[in-house]
Amino acid sequence: MARCGCGGSCGCAVAAGENVTITGSGSQANPWIIHAGTDCADVRACLSGGQGIDYEPATGVVRTCLSTDPDNRLVYGTDGCLHVPPQPVTCDEVRPCLSASNGATYDPATGEIGTCLSVDAGNRLVYGTDGCLHAPPVSCDEVRPCLSAGPGATYDPATGEIGTCLSADAGNNITYGSDGCLYVPTGAATVTTGCGVTGDGSASAPVAVNAGTWPYPCDIATSGGVIACDPATGQLYSEPRGQATFRSFNDERTYNNLPVPAAADTPVDTFTASITNPSTCRPALVVVTQETDVYMTLPPGSQAAWGQGGDEFSRTYNTGSSTMGNYHAQSMKHYAATANLAPGATYTHSYDVTMGHGAGGSTYYRIFSNIRFLVISL
């Protein structure tokens, strides 16, 4: 060995182990070469073929195995790789898989698929010149028997012409114009004048409303009334008429000589009445008058007062030496209860009769009430 200091030879010993070979003498000119490897025969015994794979231990060849089933189309190509030949499926194999259903035809012998045409009466579907489905248009002769003329129209089944018939009644002024359309010549319309209508429909005397001149200082657009047309009869109507209604409701009540209360303006009874706006179109102003008559007995030295709704109307002292029997005083109060009672709505009016300052044995035994309504719908 060159580095052992042995000169041309050396006494060193080298031994080859398992699967190792050594060549050479160890000199610089012929060095040892150590080679470690495994024989193919040793490796092949470790391998075997699995599903889809072939293995030949004698040669070490590994390849894909091909099924021997009769319908297998996989083969080896010219390059040794897997190959499926072109057009592997034949027509005879495919055609048994097909059949015809509604609206279609199928010929297994030729493989031709088509559309079947119904033999039902009235079927208009045919094959066109290009072999595709075709629905011919409906002819005029087929349509015309379905048509006929009604009121105001004409119909010629031979030509299919539809027109408008003109009445032969006397006074009919409608005719056909130069363009074939309906036309009423100027001045030919029958017009009944009078009752606010003037003119005969001609160019020199057109039909017009015989209206007057607005004579008031207010604005006609905001203060003028409305004239409307009844769509059922075509008659003109003015705005709803105004209404004024008066109603009076009397109520008389008696009491068993009840003492007049000492506290001022004490309610002793309540009177109520209702009124309904008779107009179904206009709101109403309601003016109310409430009239009250209280009957009292006032012994000598006694006193009493009475009123309406906390408003004291009368206060009386008996300064004499005899009893004042059947003493009564009548009063009245009126005011606008509401200025906007809706059409058909009802207003209920109620007020209290009050008494006070009772002293000296004063009593009351009768109260008469009269509630009056003036309803103005304008």
Q: What domains, with CATH codes, occur in the chain? A: 243-377 (2.60.120)
One-letter identity of residue 344? G
**pLDDT(1) > 60:** no
Residue 239: pLDDT band (50, 70, 90) is confident
Query: Which of 4-13, 30-39, 93-102 holds the top average pLDDT?
Result: 93-102
pLDDT of residue 7: 54
Q: What is the secondary structure of 199-255 as a DSSP string?
A: --SSSSS--EE------SSS-HHHH----EE-TTT--EE-SPPPEEEEEEEEEEEEE
Share of the chain above pLDDT 90, in %: 32
Question: Could you tell me which residues come within 8 angstroms of residue 61 by beta carbon, excluding any fewer than 6 positions away?
Answer: 54, 55
Q: What is the pLDDT of residues 300-357, one digit of tens each?
A: 999 999 999 889 999 999 999 999 999 998 889 988 888 899 999 999 999 999 999 9
Q: Compute the CA torsion angle 210, 211, 212, 213 (nearest 10 deg).
A: -140
C-alpha distances (whole Å) from 375 to each of 2, 149, 239, 253, 280 are 148, 60, 19, 27, 13
Instruction: Produce one character per residue of 87-119: b if its CB has 16 or more CB atoms within 10 Å, e if not.
Output: eeeeeeeeeeeeeeeeeeeeeeeeeeeeeeeee
pLDDT given for residue 257 in this prediction: 96
pLDDT for residue 295: 97
Q: How many helices (H) and strands (E) would you count in the chain?
A: 4, 26
Amino acid at 216: Y
Find residue 35's DSSP bridge partners: 21
Q: What is the mean pLDDT of residues 256-266?
A: 96
Separation of alpha carbons 226 and 240, rounded Å:
9
Position 4 pLDDT exceeds 60: no
* Res 261: pLDDT: 97
What was the pLDDT predicted at 303? Answer: 97
State how far the Cα of 74 lies from the Cα of 263, in Å rounded to an integer: 125
Q: Flag whether pLDDT at 281 surpasses 80.
A: yes
Mean pLDDT of 17-21: 74
- Confidence (pLDDT) at 5: 55
DSSP reduced 3-state for 142: helix
**Sign of torsion over alpha carbons 89, 92, 97, 103:** positive
Tell me what pLDDT residue 10 has.
57
Quick one: pLDDT band at residue 106, thresholds 50, 70, 90? Answer: confident
Reply yes or no on whether the pLDDT at 93 is more than 80: no
Residue 61 has pLDDT above 70, yes or no: yes
Find the mean pLDDT for residues 354-369.
96
Distance CA 268, CA 290 (A): 16
Residue 270: pLDDT band by 50, 70, 90 thresholds? Answer: very high
Q: What is the pLDDT of residues 155-197, one digit of tens each?
A: 888 888 888 988 888 767 788 888 878 877 776 666 777 777 8
Strand 112-115 versus strand 236-237 pairing type: unpaired
Interatomic CA distance for residues 271 and 354, integer angstroms: 11
pLDDT at 9 over 70: no
Asked whether 272 and 316 are in contact (CB, 8 A), the reply is no
C-alpha 134/C-alpha 4 separation (Å) is 108
